[in-house]
Amino acid sequence: MSRFYLSASLKRMADAVLRDLFRRFLITHNYSQTLRAFDTEAADDKIRDLVNISAQRVFILLQFQPSKIVREIQKAITVLDVYALDRIWSGLETCFGCRLDKAQQKHFELFKIHTYRTLICEAVKLKRTDVVTSFFSEQKSFDLTSEDWRVWLALPFTSDPPRTAPFCHYFTRTWVDILLLSISNFLCIIFAAVLTNPDDFPTSDNVSSSSYFIAFF
């Protein structure tokens, strides 16, 4: 009997710790609406299941930081690391791609395209023709024959890209700042949606099969 009471007591303690960690996370990241819903519906079975998820999933949940992902994207663009950008977007696709609705998928692809184009323009600005040439000859993420990309094939042969549409705005600091802020907001929206549905939490399988564990944690 003493073992039973000890086990039940430990479980209650663990539940309380997890509940407190979860609330602190919501408060720290200013997820006020989710926090109110959590506090209001704490007795609901769905929320109780959310609190009682495995410790491993709680760890993954608490470590996921959209701001850190954005910093990694910014770093990849700054150092012209196309492969790092590949890993980041591949990791996001693996972990959250199947959880996006059609509108979110469209935004996901647009943000992905914009980050690569920004990197290419940064390479042009730094006169790294090798990076530009390598991208157009080796990349496999996009169909360069599509209408969206066809005009970009002229970029290496454009005499003054910063003053030529549609390349010009990619060379401005304002564009880069807006892009990174928009990506951050987008990731926060996705994460907030995942928070409300325990079935959508990234699992250990997602982590082990994706480089996002290294890039974002």
Per-residue confidence (pLDDT) for residue 42, from 0 to 100: 57
User: If you compute the radius of gyration of the chain from its CA atoms, what whole number of angstroms results?
Assistant: 22
For residues 155 and 120, the answer to whether their CB atoms sit within 8 Å is: yes
* pLDDT category of residue 199 using cuts at 50, 70 and 90: low
Better pLDDT: 138 or 210:
138
| DSSP letter (8 states) at residue 200 | G
Residue 7: how many other CB atoms lie within 10 Å: 10
Q: CA 177 from chain center: how many Å? A: 16
List pLDDT tens digits, range 77-105: 999 999 999 999 988 888 777 778 888 89
Per-residue confidence (pLDDT) for residue 215, from 0 to 100: 38
Per-residue confidence (pLDDT) for residue 100, from 0 to 100: 84
List pLDDT tens digits, range 28-78: 777 677 767 666 665 454 444 544 544 445 445 555 678 889 999 999 999
For residues 44 and 51, give the distance between their C-alpha atoms in angstroms, rounded to a whole number: 11
Per-residue confidence (pLDDT) for residue 145, from 0 to 100: 84
Per-residue confidence (pLDDT) for residue 77, from 0 to 100: 96
Helices within the chain (DSSP H only): 2-28, 32-40, 45-51, 55-63, 66-78, 82-96, 102-125, 129-138, 147-150, 173-195, 204-208, 212-216
With 0.85 as the threshold, say if the pTM is over it: no
Residue 91: how many other CB atoms lie within 10 Å: 22
List pLDDT tens digits, range 105-135: 999 999 999 999 999 999 999 999 999 999 9
For residues 174 and 182, give the distance between their C-alpha atoms in angstroms, rounded to a whole number: 12
Taken as a whole, the chain contains a residue count of: 217
User: What's the whole-number mean pLDDT along residues 136-158?
Assistant: 87
